[in-house]
Amino acid sequence: MMRIPLHRRQCILALVIMLQVLQPRDVKADGRYAAATLDLGVGARSLALGGAVAALYGHESFRYNPAGLAFSQRPELAMMYAPTFGSIATPMANFYYLGGSMPMPAGGTVSVHWTRFNVDDIPVYPKLRGNAFIDRLSDPSLRPDGQPQGAIRDVENAIYLSFARPVKMTLPLGWLYTDLPVEMPVGLNVKVLRQSLGPSSASGLGIDFGVMLKFSLGHLLDIRKMGEVCLGFSALDFARTTLVWNNQKEERVARTTMAGVSYRQALGFHDSHLTLLWTFHDKYEKSHLFGLEFELGRFALRCGYNQAGFSTGAGLNWRRFRVDYAFTAVDYEYVHRIGCAFIF
C-alpha cells in the first residue's frame, strides 16, 4: 500500500477544510450577538494593525489564525488588560487576556490562552404592570417609578487550547524557475466558552482552523533584495459552535473566515523593516482590513484601517520584555489597548 508523506497529508487536510468552510451557509441560523466578545480582539499589535493579521505570525495570532503559532521560537507569556465602553478610570466593562506558548523539541507549538469579559452592576427593573400602555396611562398607580430592583452581572470566559505545526517543502515550478522552498504551517484551536448572566449560564465548544504559506519573493524572482510573502487563511468557529443555556435554549456563534497576505521588506538601514498587510474578513458582512508596520531595531510604529475606522500604535522590545500599545476604533468609539509579553 502506497504511503502518503506527512506534509502532503497535512496539505490535503487543509484543502478539505477550506472547501468545507467556503460552502454557502445559512446566515439566518447564526446568532448575531452570540459570544460577541470574541470579536473584541486580542493583542495590542494586532489591533493597531486594524486586525489585518490573517497572514501575520506571532504569539497573539492564535485568535486570528492559529497557524501563526508555528513560527514561535521561544516560550512566551503574554497578557493584556482593556477597559471597555467608557473612560479608562471608570469603564463599563473590563476585558482581560492571559496566554502562554511553548515550542516543542520535535516541532510545533502548543499554547493555552484565556480571555475574560465582565460587566458588573447591570440594573434589573420590575416588570411593567397592567395589560397595555393605555392602562398605565389612565391609572398612575401602574406606572413604574424608574428604580431598579437590583443588579446582575455578565461574565464571559473563553479558554483556547492551541496547536500549530510547521511544514517545510519544496515546490517544483517547472523549467522557467528554480524550485521554491516554502513553509506551510497548520494550526488548530479547541476553545471552551462559558457565559453567565445573572442566574442564567451557558457553555459551548468551538474549533478554529488556520493555514499559512510563507516563501521568499526574492528567491522566486531571483532578486536578492526582495522580501518575504506570507499568505494566510483561517476559519473560526467553522464546526457550528453553539452556546447551550441552562434553560435549554441555544445560540449559534456565526462562523468567521479570514484570508490575507503580508509582505515584509528589509529597508537596509539600522535593522529596519516594512510590513504591508491586507485581510479579507467575512462574518456578518464582508470587509477589507489594512495594516502597515515599520520596525527600526527594537522599536515599531503601526497603523491600520478596519470597518470601524483607523487605528494606530507602537511597540518596544527590550531584552526579553515586549510592550505594545494600540489606539483603535471599535463600533462607536476609540479605545486604548496595552499589552505586554515576557520571552523566556
Domain residues for the domain of 304 are: 6-343
pLDDT of residue 84: 77
Does any domain span residue 280? yes
Q: Is the pLDDT of residue 18 over 70?
A: no
Q: Is the pLDDT of residue 100 over 50?
A: yes
Does any domain span residue 312? yes
Q: What is the rounded CA–CA span in Å between residue 46 and residue 281?
A: 14
Does any domain span residue 23? yes
Q: Is the pLDDT of residue 29 over 60?
A: no
Q: What is the rounded CA–CA span in Å between residue 100 and residue 78?
A: 6
Q: Are 270 and 297 in contact (CB under 8 A)?
A: yes
Percentage, residues of the chain above pLDDT 70: 88
Among positive and negative, which fits the CA dihedral 4, 171, 180, 101? Answer: negative
If one counts the domains in the chain, the total is 1
Q: Is the pLDDT of residue 21 over 50?
A: no
CATH of the domain at 214: 2.40.160.40
Question: What nine digits make up the cell of 189?
Answer: 484551536
Does any domain span residue 100? yes
Does any domain span residue 183? yes
Spell out the SS3 assignment of 130-198: CCCHHHHHHCHHHCCCCCCCEEEEEEEEEEEEEEEECCEEEECCCCCCCCEEEECCEEEEEEEEEEEEC
pLDDT digits (tens, 9 = 90+) for 190-247: 999 999 988 899 999 999 999 999 999 988 888 888 999 999 999 999 888 899 999 8
Q: Are 92 and 334 in contact (CB under 8 A)?
A: no
pLDDT digits (tens, 9 = 90+) for 125-160: 888 877 887 877 888 877 777 788 888 889 999 999
Q: Is the pLDDT of residue 12 over 90?
A: no
Q: How confident is the model at residue 331 (pLDDT cuts 50, 70, 90)?
A: low
pLDDT of residue 31: 55
Percentage, residues of the chain above pLDDT 90: 47
pLDDT of residue 54: 95
Q: What is the rounded CA–CA span in Å between residue 92 and residue 80?
A: 17
pTM, 2 dp = 0.82
Does any domain span residue 153? yes
330 CB contacts (<8 Å, ≥6 apart)?
A: 40, 308
Does any domain span residue 1? no
Does any domain span residue 247? yes
